[in-house]
Amino acid sequence: MSTIFSKIINREVPAEIIYEDDLCLAFRDVSPQAPVHILLIPKKPIESMAKLQEEDGALMGHMLFQASQIAESEGLSEKGYRLVINTNQQGGQSVYHLHMHILGGRQLHWPPG
Ligand code: AMP
């Protein structure tokens, strides 16, 4: 499986990368839906939440913590933000490399569409 996100990890496609470590990468969404819209992805090419294995638990915990740190560094923590993982067709997933949206900088509505 190779997606546009694998190409961003491998620097074959440009992106505005804002955080990277051994396990994950964060970059700004090319089509932002809020003043701050960042995608956080595992370097491991997991297709979706539906393909997650129990062994991926520590990786997902690491990503949740890094999401909180990125939100803090983007100045979102006090007013708030939203983490979203769209999953498969009815969940609105378009890129089949698991990714977490970090959205903030405006009032977000509930329920989402
Ligand atoms: P989803 O619909 O949850 O699968 O989200 C995929 C997201 O990837 C969308 O918000 C797109 O705008 C974003 N996206 C697609 N290609 C790129 C790219 N080359 N660089 C940054 N974001 C991208």
Q: State the average pLDDT over residues 42-54.
A: 98
- Please name the residue that has the structure tokens 């999953």: 87
For the chain, the domain total comes to 1
Inform me whether the pLDDT recorded for 26 exceeds 80.
yes
Report the b/e string of 20-51 with b at 16+ CB within 10 A.
eeeebbbbebeeeebebbbbbbbbebbbbbee
Token pair of 93 as six digits: 């997933």
Q: What is the mean predicted confidence (pLDDT) over 14-23?
A: 98
**C-alpha separations of 40 from 54, 69, 75 in Å:** 20, 12, 17
What value does the mean pLDDT take over residues 30-44? 98
* Residue 80 within a domain: yes
Q: Is residue 109 part of a domain?
A: no
| Per-residue confidence band for 113, with pLDDT thresholds at 50, 70 and 90 | confident
Give the pLDDT band of residue 1 (cuts 50, 70, 90): low
Rounded average pLDDT over 5-21: 98
Pocket of ligand 1 (CB under 6 A): 4, 13, 15, 29-31, 39, 86, 92-95
Does the residue 113 lie in any domain? no
Question: Quick check: is 79 in a domain?
Answer: yes
Give 3 Cα–ligand 1 centroid separation in angstroms. Answer: 11
* CATH number of the domain where residue 17 is located: 3.30.428.10
* Mean pLDDT score, 2-15: 97
Rounded to the nearest angstrom, the distance between the alpha carbon of 27 and the centre of ligand 1 is: 10
Residue 112 lies in a domain: no
**Domain region containing 57:** 4-104
Predicted model pTM: 0.98
Radius of gyration of the chain (CA): 14
Percentage of the residues of the chain whose pLDDT score is greater than 90? 97
